[in-house]
Structure 1
């Protein structure tokens, strides 16, 4: 295999100038989003000194996506996706401007800040399924996985850079400037999508309201490959997501060293960036279902071994492996969803995928925290990893299409 085929497949950047422009706009917008995430947490903590209120920030971000996501997907499947995305981007930018205004004035109750966060998240819930159609509509089928990998590695890199940059800017300029920079980042996202052609649904548009949502759910229930992909991701995150356990495991195993704790999340992000940067051979494979199952299984196994690790460096190495496996699984899952779903249903199915991606880790953190409270962090980690392995094995056995021909990009 040539060296060029080992690294991230960049063919989409050469073949589609529109995709290239979208990627730049999306990357800057994701950077702004991570800056705002840190800024909101900092502001709410500064206003309240309460972990209950800082926990409410996550609730304000997640609830609109869960509540409105499927209905937003049904609406997207009735409209020009380009127009919907542009409108959602403007809405998110306006929310960031309002957050900046209250950040400069400093006379707004914490409930109003969370309200703006929730409204911005609702616009995001509308924009996400609209954006879900862009990659499969702009790129040849054999480049969809590569396009998704490029999106993913850009997001992982911004997850590294965004929080650190926010910390520097908060210390020097305050919260208002951080919010204002996020608003400006949406301007680049708007520019990236403005040059898109009209993207109405191909095929019969979604029915209005609840009927359209139910049509999307019937597709998910009946399409074994797409359903299996989403179940695999949901099972892996709900059963074994480890982030809420990090402080306890750090105290139990690694002497409660804050430097170790700070490296846990960085290690997973490093694994994700590395795996995506070397994803060329995997995104060129015609069997994303098999790659996804292997990635999810490796994620579970790495967490079991992390639960057994007593050396901080071996523990961090296992988290790098877990992050790499997760990134591989996520890119493969998205490839399955976006290549196996009819365009007329893609908004609703992308919305369901976004809900799984948001709700799964949150529920996994709750599961891990409760079980660790009853037992220990080590027990919660090991049992979660084992349950993940069993769940992935069950999906593999009951959905052989993921392993076989129907899981191929060129399959039936």
Structure 2
């Protein structure tokens, strides 16, 4: 049941990349907490706070698409390093604004939009670099460890940020974020270069369509994205959590509600050694979507905050399972020359799903009530997952032991030992 830490122990570059990302994520939570708080203090308007998401969405999508092309045309380590420096600069600007006698409002929105754009440029390279740093047979374990990193930050970050902001103030939160970026830059600088075979070509956004066409020809890959969209659009309860805490007379537990999913994911990751013995990766992807939907239906029935926390944690654990196997499918079967653009598509889906999910949850809650919004979202997620399982049999049948795309990618693996000519063992 213990997680496989072989990639972390055997690959110095993966270890540096993992640690760099963990430090950055923890620091970024401080800024993600501080910006809405500052806007709320300056305007007193919930609408002004909610507008941050709208400011971030379009830059993430547009620059995520271009970032995918860039990841297939340039040195992926260099792209990650330069964009990390850009994010550090934005944290420095936020710190300078916070130190003004009266902080200005517009820099908060500008920084949020620019950070979303830079993150969109960076994320495809960070995701696409992993298969160049660890051997093919360790990609599932590497994806699991990367997902574990997100859950650690999601669990520890908000609590630490809340304490720091309450005791030391908003400027210190930005200072912490800036410091973590500088540490991350130093770690990334130590990673070996990962040049592209096509880095002589000028990146063009239209090249992204090659990744889209490739994905469209593989229904099992399309299915992984559709399951993710079903879970985030229909069964993401984030926008409802403050209202649920109020309805249950448990405002003291709002922080726990926000971190319950990360806690569930962390528990699943800590006991995720069993994932190494699963060969049919499409099935846990589908089952995770169904479990998330079922957890939200159960949450709609909860009249006790502790029961609600259990349901949210269960959804987080199921989400970790789906993310782990979805990432493994993409990393193990997509050719290196297209991996950046397919990662850009992942950024697009990962950004649009939660944003649409908040809109759906808020709209349904306003029309039908909190419980109905939770229940209907869970049922829609369950139904969508069932439809996808029936409509995309390739996803249900996918088997890493026999899939020709996996075999081709394994054969082209630059980390493959010279003597590794035998087929991968059957789980």
Question: Does the aligned pair in 2 maintain the 1:301–1:389 contact within 8 Å?
Answer: yes
| 1:58 correspondence with 2:53 | yes
Deviation, 1:285, is 2.2
Q: Which residue of 1 aligns with 2:165?
A: 170
CA shift, 1:37, in A, is 0.6
Distance 1:186 1:362 in 2: 26
Q: Which residue number in structure 1 is paired with residue 317 of structure 2? A: 324
Equivalences for residues 12-411 of structure 1 within 5 A = 12-202=7-197, 208-252=203-247, 254=248, 256-404=249-397, 406-408=398-400, 411=403
3-state secondary structure, aligned to 1:286:
coil
Q: In the TM superposition, what is the alpha-carbon distance from 1:206 to its structure 2 partner?
A: 7.3
Distance 2:389 2:95 in 1: 48
Secondary structure of the residue aligned to 1:7 is: coil
The alignment's C-alpha RMSD in Å is 2.0
Q: Give the superposition deviation at 1:211.
A: 2.3
Aligned residue in 2 for 1:3: none
8 A contact 2:67–2:123 mirrored in 1: no
Return closer, same or farther for 1:147/1:274 CA change in 2, 3 Å cut-off.
same
1:251, distance to aligned residue in structure 2 (A): 4.7
**Which residues of structure 1 form unaligned runs of 5+?**
1-5
Equivalent in the alignment of 2:411: none
SS in 1 for 2:228: helix
Farther off after superposition, 16-25 or 106-115: 106-115
What do residues 69-117 of structure 1 show as CA deviations (whole Å, max 9, x unaligned)?
A: 1122112211111111111111111111111111122444211221022
CA-CA distance at 1:228 after TM superposition: 1.0
User: Does structure 2 retain, via aligned residues, the 8 Å contact 1:401–1:407?
Assistant: no
Query: 1:12 Cα deviation (Å)?
Result: 1.0
1:224-258 alpha-carbon deviations (Å, 9 max, x no partner):
12111111101221122112222344455x3x321
**CA distance 1:323–1:250, shift in 2 (3 Å):** same
CA distance in 2, matches of 1:337, 1:232: 14
TM-score between the two structures when normalised by the length of structure 2: 0.89
The range that moved more, 6-15 or 395-404, is: 395-404
- Please state how far the C-alpha of 1:207 moved relative to its aligned partner: 7.2
**Partners of 2:201 and 2:333 in 1: CA distance:** 18
| TM-score, reference length from structure 1 | 0.92
- Tell me if structure 1 keeps the 8 A contact 2:74–2:199: no
Shift of residue 264, structure 1, vs aligned partner: 2.0
Q: 1:409 to 1:304 in 2, by over 3 A?
A: farther
How far 1:173 sits from its partner (Å)?
2.8
Count of matched residue positions in the alignment of Structure 1 and Structure 2: 404
Aligned-residue offset at 1:303: 0.9
Which whole-Å CA distance do the structure 1 matches of 2:132 and 2:368 have between them?
A: 49
Check the 8 A contact 2:72/2:199 in 1, yes or no: no
What SS does structure 1 have at the residue aligned with 2:389? helix
